[in-house]
Amino acid sequence: MLRRLILLTALLALTTLPLLAEPADILITGGTVVTMAGPNIEHGSVAIRNGEIVAVGPSSDIDAKFEAKTVIRAGGMAVVPGFVNTHTHVPMTLFRGIADDRDLMDWLTNFIFPAEAKNVDRDFVKWGTRLAAAEMIRSGTTTFCDMYYYESDIARETKAAGLRGVLGETLIDFPAPDNKTWDAVIAYMRGFVRDWKGDRLITPAFAPHAPYTVSTEHLRQIRSLATELGAPILIHVSETKNELQQVAEKHNGMTPGAYLDSIGFLGDDVVAAHGVWLTPDEIKTFAAKKVGVAHCPESNMMLASGVAPVVDMIHAGVELGLGTDGPAGSNNNLDMVEEMASAARLQKVSRGDPKAISARELLRLATIGGATALGLAGKIGTLERGKRADVVVIDLQQAKTQPVYSVESAIVYAASGSSVVTTICDGKLLMRRGQVLTVDEKAAIAKAKEYRDKVLASLKK
Amino acid sequence: MLRRLILLTALLALTTLPLLAEPADILITGGTVVTMAGPNIEHGSVAIRNGEIVAVGPSSDIDAKFEAKTVIRAGGMAVVPGFVNTHTHVPMTLFRGIADDRDLMDWLTNFIFPAEAKNVDRDFVKWGTRLAAAEMIRSGTTTFCDMYYYESDIARETKAAGLRGVLGETLIDFPAPDNKTWDAVIAYMRGFVRDWKGDRLITPAFAPHAPYTVSTEHLRQIRSLATELGAPILIHVSETKNELQQVAEKHNGMTPGAYLDSIGFLGDDVVAAHGVWLTPDEIKTFAAKKVGVAHCPESNMMLASGVAPVVDMIHAGVELGLGTDGPAGSNNNLDMVEEMASAARLQKVSRGDPKAISARELLRLATIGGATALGLAGKIGTLERGKRADVVVIDLQQAKTQPVYSVESAIVYAASGSSVVTTICDGKLLMRRGQVLTVDEKAAIAKAKEYRDKVLASLKK
């Protein structure tokens, strides 16, 4: 009798197992899971429900526990946190390659400024953002940090594409394409922050252009308003030697970071793009005040801005991320995989040390490093239970990435953005098996061609 | 009557037009043809017959003149000369990423040398070459210049894959995996050159490793034998500061290039890899003696070797090409498109000048520049009537490459090797619409995985 009861209970347990399995929206199984929160998991799984990661671990532990609507088989692939591009100007995709290989001032005054004045409007940023979204989804970026105009329109497009964005409306002491006066942009900012604050994907931000293009008074005003509204601040800092000279002339010989500190501007809600010429003292200050820094090696190389003290910043504990910068003359793509390789190689050669930085460290900068710099480390940047499900699957089964002795090396030094096959942001599939699902890519490409002709014609006038 | 006759003649001419059309094997039509021998041709065509280019020009002129067996529509694509990788070690693909981010000597003595001693045999180079061939075909390389062991086996695999190779058997004053003594490698060389000389695709070559690893006596012997047999010489020259020190100590303070010149080694049949530390005098000598130089920026960065004086070499008229170097710890891929971007960015940042070099110049180095360095400028490197048909089609209709303001910029700064869709070498299709036709890619990838396990096990012994 007892035996029978035991048998019955066992049978019952077996038959009800599927009923006990938790539901999941997506289960990624059988890949090398690079969690960035601990050791890699070979033959690992990630389970996703309601936009969040509900389990990460060996497939043998995880898979039986979940009944998933969508199962993604990732054998021979790397499963990594979505890349975080900490500095770009996405609508400038429509100016991609318009005037390369030129001096910064020639590029700006003869091409970019007139092209922007004559072409940038709501329609332009809409299509530029769509084109950039397709490119970012294809190359595994799930979060980007933008500085441009009409940023509320960029927010709408970003959300529609299913991407995460820290989106900064540019504030500058010149008439901008959208806001012609300072009062207008301040009013715009209040509306922009009100409309988007608390959104699951979008973080509205202030983007004062740079210490040399925005007055001290205006920088103080932004600082105070940002605190009042609880919105982060994005700003170009210490990008070129020319900037250092301009800031020194205006502000008693101070360097840009020291100047910003002197006016009480710095804080953990500030993200400084570039930081090429940060001094050891500024690096200490940035680390102490938890200022995020967006390192953009390909832009710094292409515009000959210089080599950022990346290794020193890492040692000092600066919250450092990677960025592509805009794709118009300073890169010209939004590929974070390529950016990791460039960052590594540039540090190695400039420091004369092949051990200067590792592939693993680059992956850290491109994921949790960037997330931390943007103040999003609690939500994204690693593959851990409870985090938002921003997950990318990279195919390493290609001739160019085989064999794989180290998954980090294969991703950083051998793969490229085009090795990404699946992109998930906030638990939603944005690309599967190389098919972009949330952006009408064909329409965006067709529009890009139209804009090319329009922009070229506008420059001839 | 006369009128009627004219009409009749005209009608006859029209109806017989197809009969008068010349036959062609392949017609590529409607692309932007970057001939590298003059201005680009928008809506251009390239006609190919018997391995050669028989016509290049506007599609409206060319297309009606040819009746082609295969027509490749290249609307929205760039049609460029196949890339020439002037320095690599293709079988080392099987060691890809085995030990990155290390000191050169640690990498060599603790990983590469033991891994080579324990694993490199004819089977290894066969599969390594196949894997590399697939990767090169996928990224648009049609000619490569190799230095390794068992180079006759590499030649066989290269020819089977349909690629063009200048293939140098390594000569070094240590026992090599294939030839254990100097006499053995000299005997091997006589056979290797005899077997392959005059082949349409393969150029057998001598590859003395470097001025510090081969004695003066042996270098002189190679120089004389190479002249006797009419085979080019490939050699690493001036790659690292350590090499400079070693050569200076042995040879009265001379630099490697000056030393090679002093022993009568240099000539127009010599290809020097790297040339990172060439002095202004050496640059003059190399230009005067038409020594080819293979610039490998990603390797020089990754191994922290230094920044080659590329702009100075170009100004001096040095025959300069681009190379990826081997994919084991010094790159780690064979992507010439990425290499062009890295080369441009490195020159710009190291010279502090965004105008230092242009996308067009990089395309020149990667095609006719490399062909000239390898002594093949008469046969390949441009798209011109009479040249061998080494042609690559690059898809620029992707989100990441749109819009296209400049085709050179789009290729160099926005595309990647994976943008290549069609690869033709010597008039033969090696890849079409992303499908590799001449290498069993799946088998090569499966073998790469087997070798990975074998190599790892061998290092544990």
What digits encode the pLDDT tens for the residues A185-242?
999 999 999 999 999 999 999 999 999 999 999 999 999 999 999 999 999 999 999 9
Q: What is the pLDDT of residues B113-141, one digit of tens each?
A: 899 999 999 999 999 999 999 999 999 99
The angle formed by the CA atoms of residues B351, B357 and B361, to the nearest 5 degrees, is: 155
Q: What is the pLDDT of residues B166-225, one digit of tens each?
A: 999 999 999 999 999 999 999 999 999 999 999 999 999 999 999 999 999 999 999 999
B138-149: b or e for each residue (b if 16 or more CB lie within 10 Å)? Answer: bbbbbbbbbbbb
Q: What is the pLDDT of residues A274-323, one digit of tens each?
A: 999 999 999 999 999 999 999 999 999 999 999 999 999 999 999 999 99
CA B372 to chain centre: 11
- Chain A residue with CA closest to B410: the answer is A97
Chain A residues in contact with B305 (beta carbon < 8 A): 349
**pLDDT classification of B17: cutoffs 50, 70, 90:** low
In chain B, helix, strand, coil percent, each to 5? 45, 25, 30
CB atoms within 10 A of CB B268: 14
User: What residues contact residue B409 under an 8 Å CB cut-off, 6+ apart?
Assistant: A97, A100, A332, B359
pLDDT for residue B14: 53
Between positions 270 and 329 of A, the ones with CB within 8 A of B are: 298, 300-307, 327
Q: What is the pLDDT of residues B379-396, one digit of tens each?
A: 999 999 999 999 999 999
Q: What are phi and psi of A199, to 5 degrees?
A: -65, 145
Q: Beta strand A41-49 with B420-425: parallel, antiparallel or unpaired?
A: unpaired
C-alpha dihedral sign at B175, B176, B178, B179: negative
How far does A329 lie from chain B, in Å, by closest CA? 9
Specify the DSSP element, H or E, that contains B60. Answer: helix B59-62
Q: How many helices (H) and strands (E) are present in chain B, helices listed first?
A: 18, 17
Query: What is the rounded average pLDDT of the residues B398-426?
Result: 98
Domains of chain B plus CATH, in order, are: 83-373 (3.20.20.140)
Residue A281, token pair as written in the block: 């003292």
B221-239: b or e for each residue (b if 16 or more CB lie within 10 Å)? Answer: bbbebbeebebbbbbbbbb
Chain A residues in contact with B441 (beta carbon < 8 A): 399
Per-residue pLDDT of chain A (461 residues), as tens digits, is 556 666 655 555 555 455 579 999 999 999 999 999 999 999 999 999 999 999 999 999 999 999 999 999 999 999 999 999 999 999 999 999 998 988 877 888 888 989 999 999 999 999 999 999 999 999 999 999 999 999 999 999 999 999 999 999 999 999 999 999 999 999 999 999 999 999 999 999 999 999 999 999 999 999 999 999 999 999 999 999 999 999 999 999 999 999 999 999 999 999 999 999 999 999 999 999 999 999 999 999 999 999 999 999 999 999 999 999 999 989 999 999 999 999 999 999 999 999 999 999 999 999 999 999 999 999 999 999 999 999 999 999 999 999 999 999 999 999 999 999 999 999 999 999 999 999 999 999 999 999 999 999 999 87
How far does B275 lie from chain A, in Å, by closest CA? 15
Query: What is the rounded average pLDDT of the residues B413-433?
Result: 98
Query: What is the rounded average pLDDT of the residues B235-245?
Result: 97
Peptide bond into B332 cis (omega under 30): yes
The per-residue DSSP string of B161-176 comes to HT-EEEEEEEE-SS--
Q: What's the complex ipTM?
A: 0.95
Q: For residue B6, is pLDDT > 90? A: no
* CB contact at 8 A, B374 and B272: no
pLDDT for residue B461: 73
Residue A209, token pair as written in the block: 């252009």
Radius of gyration over every alpha carbon of chain A, rounded to an integer in angstroms: 23
Q: A83 - beta bridge partners? A: A141
Q: Could you tell me if B101 lies within 8 Å of chain A, comparing CB atoms?
A: yes
Q: What is the pTM of this model?
A: 0.95
Chain A residues in contact with B94 (beta carbon < 8 A): 403
User: What residues contact residue A65 under an 8 Å CB cut-off, 6+ apart?
Assistant: A21, A22, A47, A55
Between positions 123 and 182 of A, the ones with CB within 8 A of B are: 131, 134-135, 138-139
Instruction: Give the integer Cα–Cα distance in Å for A303 and A101.
Output: 8
pLDDT for residue B102: 86
Instruction: Give the integer Cα–Cα distance in Å for A7 and A14.
Output: 11
Query: What is the rounded average pLDDT of the residues B384-410?
Result: 98
Substitution target from A77, A93, A94, A96 for chain B, most B beta carbons within 10 A: A96
Instruction: Give the integer Cα–Cα distance in Å for A174 and A172.
Output: 5
Q: Could you tell me if B335 lies within 8 Å of chain A, comparing CB atoms?
A: yes
